[in-house]
A and B are shown apart, each in its own frame.
Chain A
Amino acid sequence: MITQEQTLHDESDPPRSEAAEALAVTATFVALASVGASFVFPVFVPFILAPVAIVLAIISKGRSFKLSQTGRRAVTFALICIGVNIAVLALTLRSAFSLMSDPAYHAQLNQMTENMYGYTFDDMLRIIDESYGTNLTEMLGAEVQEPLAGNEAEGSL
């Protein structure tokens, strides 16, 4: 059975090497880049950069069991960045769903996509549902078509 002593485990915190500090600094830069990217390219770029910053900061611990000050800063920035971007994503999706359930907006969207592509937005959802077995029509409330139906009725008169 392998034991603690045979795994280079040392209770004392060994001095950090230059390589470890350089890696921690790199992790901080990547974390800062992810924070900056949150303003320019939200969600996608920060979701790539922030986890990379965390992993680099963890590796920068080297033989030590604690993160250095710089590494801790990198992890903090990256975690804040991930949290903020998850919140942004959640709010965006929530807004999209709530807008889709607004009959006036839904009718406008249907009209717009029909003008652009020749299909209404609801048709597109139905095609996707039929092709991939998804349930987007129900999820996005595509049945709400009263205003559009009203417009068609007015047009036919």
Chain B
Amino acid sequence: MNTTDNRYSRPDANRSVHPDRGVYFLHRVSTGIKAGARFSLLTHLGTACGANVVCAAAAFLLTTLFGGSVYGSDLAGLLLSFVIEWLVAVFIGILEYGRVCLYMNMQYAQPVLMQDLFCGFRENTNQIIQCEAVAAGIRVLLLVPGALAALLLPDGMAARTPLVILLYAAGLCGVIYSRLVFALRYYLLLDYPGSSAADVLKKSARLMKGNRILLFYIHLSFVPLSALGLLSFGIANLWITAYRCASDAAFYRGLMASRQ
């Protein structure tokens, strides 16, 4: 992939590099990223929230319709529920791509239209499906050992509960890591249309090297707001999700600017 002919990223002149590190540095950078995110949201908050409602409704409907009908009480049911979870994640990925497109347009001050949410059905559909199949596949596979241990180990076994907790915790850590590694897949796909899924995933992993902690810190900084969202029975999460997604887009913008 050539970094000069991308659709969104452009060189931001006179940017010097500060090689300092540490929590204070992370805080300062994340504050800057979130400021950029808030600014991009100011005039498009309604559209952003509308897009979040559509995505959440689609995820809820698909999970309820397909995931809710299968419960992993036996091995076959458990494996089937994982397959369904994977398929739903792949489909939701197409909408997720549209949402990323919407937030990127906000970030780069381009026209923001609600129909952009469905652009994943028109462009790069195969690459989106392939990317999400790999990313969601890894996430689901990481959670399989914990679920299998909970199902298959005998109830009387002394080490059952600690083992199940350990496997689930390890799986969860793996899921967070894989989410961070492949966090830029849709941004890259949008920025470099026509790239193969493998290229996009490799480039995402390469770009995130050295920046995973920062993205993790940014996501962690939303925990207090999410707690507030919980207090509002999840309703405030509509705006919090918009803020978080806009921060992701601002993170990508900052990252691409730092490379040019």
On whether the beta carbons of A51 and B35 are closer than 8 Å, the reply is no
Query: Which residues of B have CB within 8 Å of A59?
Result: 38, 41-42, 45, 239, 242-243
On whether the beta carbons of B38 and A52 are closer than 8 Å, the reply is no
What is the distance, in angstroms, from B185's C-beta to the closest C-beta of chain A? 18
Interface size class of A (residues with CB under 8 A): 20 to 34
Instruction: Name the contact of A63 in the complex, choosing from B12, B39, B232 (C-beta under 8 A).
Output: B39
B29 CB–A CB distance under 8 Å: yes
Q: How far is the CA of A20 from the CA of B35 in the complex (A)?
A: 12
Q: Would you give the 0/1 interface string for A50-87, flagging 1 where the beta carbon is closer than 8 Å to chain B? A: 11101110111111110000000000000000100000
Q: How far is the CA of A61 from the CA of B29 in the complex (A)?
A: 17
On whether the beta carbons of B29 and A3 are closer than 8 Å, the reply is yes
What is the distance, in angstroms, from B71's C-beta to the closest C-beta of chain A? 18
B137 CB–A CB distance under 8 Å: no
What is the distance, in angstroms, from B222's C-beta to the closest C-beta of chain A? 11
On whether the beta carbons of B35 and A8 are closer than 8 Å, the reply is yes
What is the distance, in angstroms, from A2's C-beta to the closest C-beta of chain B? 5
Interface stretch of the complex, out of B88-96, B157-165, B223-231: B223-231
Interface size class of B (residues with CB under 8 A): 35 or more
A17 CB–B CB distance under 8 Å: yes
On whether the beta carbons of A51 and B38 are closer than 8 Å, the reply is no
List the interface of chain B (C-beta within 8 A of A).
12, 15-19, 25, 28-29, 31-33, 35-36, 38-39, 41-43, 45, 210-211, 214, 225, 228-229, 231-233, 235-236, 239-240, 242-243, 250-251, 254-255, 257-258
A-B contact pairs, 20 of them (CB 8 A): A1-B214, A2-B255, A4-B29, A5-B18, A7-B33, A8-B36, A8-B39, A9-B32, A19-B43, A23-B42, A47-B231, A48-B235, A48-B236, A51-B236, A52-B236, A54-B228, A54-B236, A59-B38, A59-B242, A82-B231
